[in-house]
Structure 1
Amino acid sequence: EELRALDARNAELQAAIREQGAEAARLRARLDAAEQELRETRTLIASPPPVGAPAPPAAAPAPAPRPDTLHPDGAEPAYNAALVLFRAREHGQAVLDLLDFIAKYPEHLLAPNAQYWIGEAYYLQRDYRQALVEFERVVDMAPVSPKAADALLKMGLSYTNLRENSRAQQAWQRVVRDYPATESAGKARALLRAHAARRP
């Protein structure tokens, strides 16, 4: 009799726990919706439409904003989820998710970062040829982004692993020349000095 009572009590507790979990999920969904509404409201307050402003002179119409710039709310969570996979060393799935991110949000500020991590995934898998291709895309995509300097630095390391030392030095020289104030430039200078010291 006592065992049956304990079983019944256990079942009640499990049901209560399940109900609390469902309620927590509902609360999280409501909180996410409220936060999104707050972000949109702040955006509208920060940039209200001009009232009574004179009409600007005739000019070529501005291109319509891309959908990803109009509704970027899902961008950062998608990027962060891909990075979680990357850090868990699930590189194959991380690459797929990062490629999907770039396809959906090609103009997002995090797109060069996503492309960089694709290169990093191949680098960590020692596929240095493909890593070079992916890192070069970072430079092509956003030549003024700090990630371009990081990508060039990694291109040099990829060339080193392929025993193409002259190309490695060219990549690092490019970092120093084009991105002199970046942290990657400091690392590139150190690598160039180390290579020079090893010469006979």
Structure 2
Amino acid sequence: MAGLFFHAIICAVVGLIVAGCSSGSKSVAPASGPAERSAVERPPRPATLEDVRKTQETQTQEVGRLTGEVKALDAQQAFLVTELKSLSEQLAKLKASVDDARLAVEAIQRATPVTPPATPPPAALSQPPPPMLPPAAPPRAAVAPPTPTLRNPDADRMFAAALAKLRAGEDGQAALEFTEFVTQFPNHPQAAAAQNWIGEAFYRQRDYKQAVVEFQKTVDNYTQTTQVAEALLKIGLCKRAMGDAAGARAAWEQVIKQYPRSEAASQARGFLAGRTNGGSRVR
């Protein structure tokens, strides 16, 4: 009986020992198992669609910024080009003004030599035998009145201003100013040229009928000037533009006949020979 009891105690002790070892092994296993090692050795997280989207947005913003800078540079370049064009136009206008002033000075210089006709009275006085010569001086003095007009700076300025209008393409205004010039200063050395410029203004506006009328005034009123040859040449051009070939030929033949050595006659020969189409220019 005692032996059975002792044997039971031994079995119980052995069972407790076995149970303790089993629980100890279970408690240690989680610390060194495969799950813990996988947590430590986990690879980096791959990029997601959200990461790609953010990267694209950043790049798009950078491209937009650069595009804005390029547009700003283009606008600045366009502004500079406009400024350069404006300066070029101003320079051209200044050059035209200088040319007009030069023409005015040349007009005065051409007009000044005309004044010597006032000197013949002393030559007449140098012939004392005819007693009636002194009374003959007043008629020569009567020719002198136009000389103040020749030296009139207002007339020269008016002519230069009208010519500047014509050069600037303001044909209508130029015609009005030249007409006023001819009305106020009919005996001015540039009056015949002014009358031709009136015809030129209408010619450039393709009002050929009125241009013929104005050029004909030069032919009728300034017969002693070289401007008549130019007027006849332009009458021929107007006639041709209106389809009047016979009228054009007649005008050009008249130029060649009356002014054979003039530049207008040379051009008329070219028109008759069909070597040139003609045209108008402001000189």
TM-score scaled by structure 2?
0.49
Query: What do residues 87-125 of structure 1 show as CA deviations (whole Å, max 9, x unaligned)?
Result: 111111111111111111111111000000000000000
How far off is 1:61 after superposition?
Answer: 4.8
Partner of residue 138 from structure 1, selected from 213, 218, 224: 218
- Structure 2 CA distance for aligned equivalents of residues 59 and 67 of structure 1: 16
Distance 2:193 2:211 in 1: 14
Evaluate the alpha carbon distance shift between residue 168 and residue 84 of structure 1 in structure 2; reply closer, same or farther with a 3 A threshold. Answer: same
The structural deviation recorded for 1:58 is: 4.5
Determine which structure has greater relative contact order: mean sequence separation of CA pairs < 8 Å that are 6+ residues apart, divided by chain length: 1
Task: Provide the residue aligned with 1:73 in structure 2.
Answer: 152
Check whether the contact 2:121–2:137 (CA below 8 A) recurs between aligned residues: no
SS of the equivalent of 2:250 reads: helix
CA distance, structure 2, for counterparts of residue 48 and residue 99 of structure 1: 34
| Structure 2 contact 185–191 (Cα < 8 Å) conserved | yes
1:127 paired with 2:207, answer yes
Partner of 2:258: 178
What TM-score do the two structures reach when normalised by structure 1?
0.67
Please tell me whether the aligned partners of residues 176 and 189 of structure 1 are also in contact (alpha carbons under 8 angstroms): yes
Task: Give secondary structure in 2 for the equivalent of 1:64.
Answer: helix
Aligned length: 154
Whether 1:192 and 2:272 are equivalent positions in the alignment is yes
Higher helix share: 2
How far does the alpha carbon of each residue in 1:152-192 deviate from its partner, in whole angstroms, 9 at most, with x for none? 11111100110000000000000000010100101101111
- The 1:49/1:191 distance shift into structure 2, 3 A limit, reads closer
Q: CA deviation at 1:144?
A: 3.0
Which amino acid is the alignment partner of residue 64 of structure 1?
Answer: A
Quick check: 110-119 or 92-101, which moved more? 92-101
| CA distance in structure 2 between the partners assigned to 1:65 and 1:125 by the alignment | 38
Which whole-Å CA distance do the structure 1 matches of 2:186 and 2:136 have between them? 26
How far residue 193 of structure 1 moved from its aligned partner, in angstroms, is 1.4
CA contact (8 A) 1:156 1:172 kept: yes
Residue in 1 that maps onto 2:191: 111
Asked whether the 8 Å contact 2:202–2:208 carries over to 1, the reply is yes
Shift of 1:57: 5.6
- Secondary structure at the residue paired with 1:129? helix
Change (3 A) 1:57 1:73: closer
Name the SS for the 1:133 alignment partner: helix
One-letter code of the match for 1:125?
A: Q
Instruction: Work out which of the residue numbers 90, 114, 139 in structure 1 matches 2:170.
Output: 90
State the structure with more CA Rg: 2
**Per-residue Cα deviation, 1:29-57 (whole angstroms, up to 9, x for no partner):** xxxxxxxxxxx9xx79x959849754616
The share of aligned pairs that are identical, in percent, is: 42
More displaced stretch, 139-148 vs 167-176: 139-148
Structure 2 unaligned regions, length at least 5: 1-111, 276-283
Q: Aligned equivalents of 1:102 and 1:126: distance in 2?
A: 22
- Cα contact 1:68–1:105 (8 A) shared by 2: no
Change in Cα spacing, 1:130 to 1:73, as seen in structure 2 (3 Å) is same
